[in-house]
Structure 1
Amino acid sequence: STLDEPFWDVCRGVERPVMQPGAGKQAFSFDAPTTMRNASKMQRACVLPKAVLLEGAPGVGKTTIVEALGAALGHKVVRINFSDHTDMMDLLGTFLPAGQAGEADADDDGGDNTNDADPAPAQPE
């Protein structure tokens, strides 16, 4: 069936991942049957304009294959580790108003204002 074939063989315009010399941190081959199947599934998932969540036991190669696939295809990989303590605000960020309630920040230029906060007050000795 179509799902048994590597994604790059059945979908026009999808490249077969091949590591270029110096592209990754270490040598990596997509030729092993399980690796080829997993890489094909990830490429199939990446066609959709949604994030891809990989889950599984530690040490099975999830991060390694994603980093190698990203390097082989020339894409940037963003890694986010989830745990029981990961909060939604860790993923989305948070807004911290700088002025009085209801007022906008006077120097809000749409840029990164991470250094705009007042320094922490000195602790009494």
Structure 2
Amino acid sequence: MKLLTLDELSEFSRTLGYAAAADSDGVRRALESFRYADRHRTDGTATVRALAGAQAVAKRLLDMEAEYAVVRSTVARLVVANNRGDDYDLGDLASELHRQDVDLTHDYDIADDLARAAEREGLL
């Protein structure tokens, strides 16, 4: 899969205009409205709901692509800096991502739970 370029992200965001990104429930509702609108193509209200859902899902996807681009560029920057003699570690990576509003707190909690479970099972 080819990721969007920064120029494409900007262009698509401008084209989309203001739209709230769908939360997980919004994604579910949007998918249900797509399915309903597909089965009832003459129902104008269903089409309107599907289009509104599509905008919210598109905004979510653009936001996710933008955050992923931040993660990729941050990792690449720190790796190149290390290859050139700097000494960044994973704590520095976490700090850089946090500074750029990439919140991994939930991911750290899950990883910690998995590590504790593995320790109890003697896997670590």
The TM-score, its normalising length taken from structure 1, stands at: 0.25
Q: Which has the higher helix share?
A: 2
> Radius of gyration: which is bigger?
1
